[in-house]
Every structure is written in structure tokens, then in C-alpha cells.
Amino acid sequence: MKIRAYLASFAALTLILGLIGCVCGPALVAGGAFDRLLGMDPAWRRTRAAARHSRCGAWLFALFRFLMRIRLVVDVPAIPPERRGSCIVVSNHQHTLDILLLYEVLRRAHQRDLRWVIKRELARAPVVGYAVRSIGCAVVSRTGSLDDLREIERCAKTADADGGSVIIFPEGTRWTPKRGEDSPFRHLLPPKRRGFLALRKEMPRAPVLSVTVRWERFGAAGKTMYHLASLFGQTLRVAVRLVPAEEASLPGWLEREWTRKDEELAAGASSAARPDEQTSAF
């Protein structure tokens, strides 16, 4: 089984990186050039580019799931049409693949125009850097500086005007057992509220989609694209909660939401440790 997992992870990594560099990247660049050639206004170009990113991301994750034999269980609430516009997405962060995962999950929540708050290092990658610039993502240093906050506010203002949504990982980085040693939570890092508040400032009427990601075996947590073997054959559970703007605007909401997420993750870990029981966190 271990040899099979390593072979599958090598094939998945090679194929995904090759497709990003040789197929998705050129397709995104060509699509953007075509939109400019047609003389589309910047807002419409950003919206169309974000939709292309969403399709590519969901397609790549589906391919990854197939190669790695991952079972995906998603709980997405019924979202009425009037709430399918701009929203703020907050999610815990356990693996680099969470980015591709969210494209698939949010597609099921009728969200395809997605902008990201991402770290500066990721934006330096050739294909990713172009994609980030084409849709107006917020590129931050994760220091919580005024420049970072202004960048997040700019991204939120643009996304709200375009009818798009913004995704933020409030923890600021991937959770690992070592990083979590000093955390008040068992399976999460403390959320950094300033980035979320900057989004709320520019998107005060936007509801929040709160996403909770749980790999069934926590050995996957904190891993990168180069550590895929531990994911082979896993069950990945994702729960999405729709939070009205009024509730998400209350003082201390983010901290209370993180407490709720931590309880769900702890319950899920406890359930996974007892295979004879049928209960699940979500």
C-alpha cells in the first residue's frame, strides 16, 4: 500500500504541475488576451478570468482526487438565489491543496468569481502570479502591516463592485501539530482578525461562507504539494455554513466561529478514532 501511495502521489504531482504549466497557464493567458482584444471593460475581464480559474481549479482537484483515491464528502447548505452574489469566505487551512479544494467546494455553493488573500511568496510563481494579477487578488506579507490591510481593502472593494467573493485563511498559514502547540485551539491556529475586519469594512452587506476542512487522518495537516503520499485513500470532509452579514458583523464573531470549528474538528477526530461508531462531525 505504501509503494502504491508513493507512486500515485508522484504521478499526481507530476501531472498536476505539468497541466498547470503547459495547459492551464497558457489557456488563462490566451483567455485574458482574447478578452482584451474584444475591448471588454476591466470588471468584466476580471469576472471572466475568475470563472476560468474556478473551472481549472475544480478540474485539477477532480483529477487529483481520482489519482489519489480520495473520497470527498461535502455538506453545502441550500443557498437562495438572492444570496449567491458577493460573499466573504473564511476557511481553516490544513494543506496546500486546500486552494484547489475550495474551487470545487465553492462551485457547489454557486460561487465561481473568487478572489484570494494570498501570501506574497505564492504570487511570485509564474502561472499563479499572472492569475493573481488578472483578477485583483490581495497579495500580502502576512505581517499585519498597514500596507497589507490596504491591499485587502482594495481587493474587497473591487470584488464587491464586480459581484465577486473574497477568500481568506484567517490563520495566516497551515495548521500543524507543532504550530498548534501554543494555540488555544486543539486543531486550529488563532484567527487573525484584522484581515477579516478589513474585508467586512469594504463588504459590509456580504454574507459569510464559513468552510471547515477536515482530513480524516490528521497526518495530512500542514503538508505541501510535495508531501502527497499521506493523502492516498483518505476521506476528506468539508462543511460549509452560511452566515448572514448581520451575525458576522457582531464583535467577536470570528473568535466564536473558530471555537465552533475547533469543536467540530475535535468531534470528527474522536469519531475517526472509533471506527466501530457511525457518528461523524459533519
Domains recognised in the chain with CATH numbers: 2-272 (3.40.1130)
* Residue 175: φ, ψ to 5°: -75, 135
* Residue 189: φ, ψ to 5°: -90, 155
How would residue 199 be classed by pLDDT, with cut points 50, 70 and 90?
A: very high
| Average pLDDT of the segment spanning 37-64 | 93
> What pLDDT score was predicted for residue 54?
95
> What pLDDT score was predicted for residue 276?
39
> What pLDDT score was predicted for residue 224?
61
3-state secondary structure of 94: coil
- What the block records as the C-alpha cell of 18 is 505539468
* Residue 139: φ, ψ to 5°: -105, 115
> What pLDDT score was predicted for residue 223?
58
